[in-house]
Structure 1
Amino acid sequence: MAYQLYRNTTLGNILQESLDELMQSQKTTPQLALQVLLNFDKAIISALAQRVRNRLNFRSSLNTYRFYDNVWTFVLNDVEFREVAELIKADKVKIVACDGKNTGSNTTE
């Protein structure tokens, strides 16, 4: 389930559209398309774990939070993001966080 978060990115959407076109023209099977998506998910998670090293601090007031089906959702107000000397402010931010340790399962919900 956590894998599917990356499919909503621009790259993930384009990949899904390309696979849909290939299936409609019968140049690939649905099973192969699903396998390609699962490999995409694993590659994105691996790349983020190995290549992203930046740290970001933020300060805000918590509006609401929720924990459901191993997914945390936080809504923050008056947020200040700080990276070294750069400061970015936002009125409202929504953070959705999944448990990355359960990424070994092949759920396709």
Structure 2
Amino acid sequence: MSYQLYRNTTLGNCLAESLDELIQAQQITPNLALQVLLKFDKSINDALTTRLRNKISFKGHLNTYRFCDNVWTFVLNDVEFRNGDFVSVDKVKIVAVDGKSSAAAASQD
């Protein structure tokens, strides 16, 4: 499930570690911890789709691209970002997941 992308963030890792400690102390069940993680996944995705309105433009030279299991991966060289400010970097990797198809698959689970 692509909802789990945000579990590797600092917030997601801290939540997982806290839940593990609660399971070890037998204060919650593993099933409850799993339900909390699933609610976290859904909440993060909902918040990012409804609350973020920032836009940024960028251009660069496409080095490689891949499409596998509804996930696009792009590697760009000499990238310039513009959002009022100008930032230039040597290399950027972009991973994009089709949220519509993954949300449909998640609702079928």
Is this a same-fold pair by TM over 0.5?
yes
Distance, in Å, in 2 between the alignment partners of 1:15 and 1:34 is 11
Unaligned runs of 5+ in 2: none
Is 2:54 aligned against 1:54?
yes
User: More displaced, 98-107 or 87-96?
Assistant: 98-107
3-state secondary structure, aligned to 1:74: strand
User: Which structure has greater helix proportion?
Assistant: 2
Is 2:45 aligned against 1:45?
yes
User: More displaced, 85-94 or 95-104?
Assistant: 95-104
Alpha-carbon RMSD: 1.6
Distance, in Å, in 1 between the alignment partners of 2:80 and 2:96 is 19
Count matched residues.
107
Question: How high is the sequence identity, in percent, across the aligned residues?
Answer: 65
- Deviation for aligned residue 1:18: 0.3
3-state secondary structure, aligned to 1:46: helix
- Deviation for aligned residue 1:106: 6.2
1:3-54 deviations in Å (ceiling 9; x for gaps): 1110011100000000010111111111111110010011111111111001
What does 1:4-43 align with in structure 2 at a 5 Å threshold? 4-43=4-43
- Deviation for aligned residue 1:103: 2.0
Unaligned runs of 5+ in 1: none
What does 1:86-105 align with in structure 2 at a 5 Å threshold? 86-101=85-100, 102-104=102-104, 105=106
Distance, in Å, in 2 between the alignment partners of 1:43 and 1:107 is 18
- Deviation for aligned residue 1:75: 0.6
Question: After the TM superposition, which segments of 4 or more aligned residues of structure 1 sit over 2 Å from their partners?
Answer: none
Distance, in Å, in 1 between the alignment partners of 2:72 and 2:5 is 13
TM-score when scaled to structure 1? 0.92
Distance, in Å, in 2 between the alignment partners of 1:68 and 1:22 is 37
3-state secondary structure, aligned to 2:96: strand
3-state secondary structure, aligned to 1:15: helix
